[in-house]
Amino acid sequence: MSERGLAEAANRPPISASEMRALEAEAIGSGRATGLALMERAATGVVAGIETAWPGFLATPRRVVILAGPGNNGGDAFAVARLLADAGHDVSVWELGDPRRLPEDAAENRRRWLARGGVAALDEPGVPAALAEAARADLVIDGLFGIGLSRPIEGPAAALIEGLDALDPAPRVVAIDIPSGVAADSGEALGGRALHADLCVTFHAPKPAHLAPKGAAWMDRVLVADIGLHDDGAAGR
């Protein structure tokens, strides 16, 4: 493990999506961590992963587009947005889905972000504007869908992903946990569509997709952030 608490995925044994969820639930249920603490650790790991993958990249103010999904992956994305904005970057956030249906911890991170910046709706009319912002951005953070995705992406998210993959020149894309559209346990692109990531930062351990040839086609580099889910009593994600 590096001094930033990061490791290359190939150097760690994988665990399944259900095993990861069980570890998270145990950490919360035992009182070793709260859901908000886990999201904060995840967001910190994503920022550390960017700094590790591209040393000096975040030393200059950047234009960043954050894509926040309708689940806990979106909660991580809102936390990343806040960390990057607090570090002086120009951050815009686009959210998919009805914010009233967000899980509790993700909704709290959304509220914390709203105290810092605004949110735009990633609905069908909003996709062209989101793509226009991404075309001018230095960095796109993919927090649309995480390891719980089990069906093909449709609607505005599908149109956005298609448009992002067609951008030339393209911004750097960083996926939170897994590129949106990739099945965590197989590496399959569900429905044949996923967002390619230059960097993926996953948590605790790689998932099978991160090491599978099919999954590797959707991500150039995978870093694993140690967020404390080991058997040493530390709090974790």
Do 218 and 205 contact (CB within 8 A), yes or no?
no
pLDDT, residue 232, reads: 45
Nearest-angstrom CA–CA distance, 115 and 126? 22
Tens digits of per-residue pLDDT, 156-199? 999 999 999 999 999 999 999 999 999 999 999 999 999 999 99
Residue 224's pLDDT band (boundaries 50, 70, 90)?
very high
Q: For the chain, which residues make up each domain, given as ranges?
A: 6-54+62-188+205-225
Query: What CATH number should be reported for the domain whose range is 6-54+62-188+205-225?
Result: 3.40.50.10260
DSSP letter at 229?
-
Give the percent of the chain with pLDDT over 70: 95
Percent of the chain past pLDDT 90, that is, above it, reads 90
Closest CA to 194 of 140, 142, 138: 142
Query: pLDDT tens digit string along 17-72?
Result: 999 999 999 999 999 899 999 999 999 999 999 999 999 999 999 999 999 999 99
Token output for 94: 């686009």
Answer for the pair 127, 154: CB distance below 8 angstroms, yes or no. Answer: no
pLDDT band at 2 (very low <50, low <70, confident <90, very high): low
Provide the pLDDT for residue 3.
54
Alpha helices in 56-207 (DSSP H): 72-86, 104-114, 127-136, 155-166
Q: Provide mean pLDDT across the span 79-83.
A: 98
112 pLDDT higher than 90: yes
Q: Considering only 119-123, 199-203, 226-230, which range has the smallest mean pLDDT?
A: 226-230
Average pLDDT, the chain: 94
